[in-house]
Amino acid sequence: MDDSANTHYPILLVHGLFGFGRIGPFNYFKGIKDALAESGARVFVPIISAANNNETRGEQLLEHIRRVCTQTGAQRVNLIGHSQGALTARYAAATAPHLVASVTSVSGPNHGSEAADRMRQAFVPGTLPETIAGALTTAFSTFLSAITGHSQLPQHALEALNALTTEGVTAFNLKYPQGLPETRGGMGAEYVNDVFYYSWSGIIKGSRLSESLNLLDPLHNACRVFGSFFTRETKENDGMVGRFSSHLGHVIRSDYPLDHLDTINHLAPMRKKTVNPLTLYVEHAKLLKNKGL
């Protein structure tokens, strides 16, 4: 039996905005839990609010961490958070470092998302468009939670949006700075308050003409559209998060040829893969294992 990724502490995969565990045959972390488990890892996917602020989601995550520790007998866990899940994981580690051995940010907006900034600008606070958009997206989040059997989870789409903007994340970072780089584009401290911090992410590379059959992937096309609205990291973003904005702790790599959804393995089936996201997760688990985590 392969136990190359059998980490000392269990791994929790933390989903981002509008995330879920499983809906029928569909998984948010597509094939990732299975790939890790086949390499010996103990893996859990906690279900937290599909849309809410980082602190609310973080408190929900802490409840799951305590539950996993009780269930497995482990003293701590390794957190791997995608997108807003990275901020959720950071909150848990900052407020309860005795329960968290490591935090890994995958495509995390650790310095804010320019895509969120543009959406926030499009909806003026207190106006009818903002109210309608907030109500619709909150209702969608509630629907996601309901069909996964977690209708009790609170949802608030506008709080989620505000928490992902550059302004919102800047305020968050003042309270929870662990692992942040001192200079833009640099690396942060790998080890803070007995917690290890890592990050990796991707960027959209090449022109639309170079995409071949990937042009038929609506998710990739959506990422390209969102990425076109970036004004700071115009050339290096994954459609939702800029390359340097994703940096946290020890940066493994931040320019994989992957868009924001590719990093959770949501690839068009006809697309030629130059980087396999499943391999990235398994290799990272091996790194954690080698660290004694």
For the annotated catalytic residues, the residue numbers are: 83, 238, 260
CB 242 within 8 A of CB 232: yes
Phi-psi region for residue 178, left (φ > 0), alpha (ψ -120 to 50) or beta? beta
Phi-psi region for residue 82, left (φ > 0), alpha (ψ -120 to 50) or beta? beta
- Per DSSP (E only), the strands in the chain are 11-14, 22-23, 26-27, 43-44, 77-82, 100-106, 191-192, 195-202, 250-256
Pairing type for strands 191-192 and 195-202 reads: antiparallel
CB 286 within 8 A of CB 2: no
CB 187 within 8 A of CB 247: yes
Q: Which helix (H) or strand (E) holds 218?
A: helix 218-227
Phi-psi region for residue 192, left (φ > 0), alpha (ψ -120 to 50) or beta? beta
Phi, psi of 285 (to 5 degrees): -60, -35
Closest by alpha carbon to 17, among 282, 279, 276, 260? 260
Distance CA 165, CA 54 (A): 12
Neighbouring residues of 131: CB distance < 8 A, sequence distance ≥ 6: none
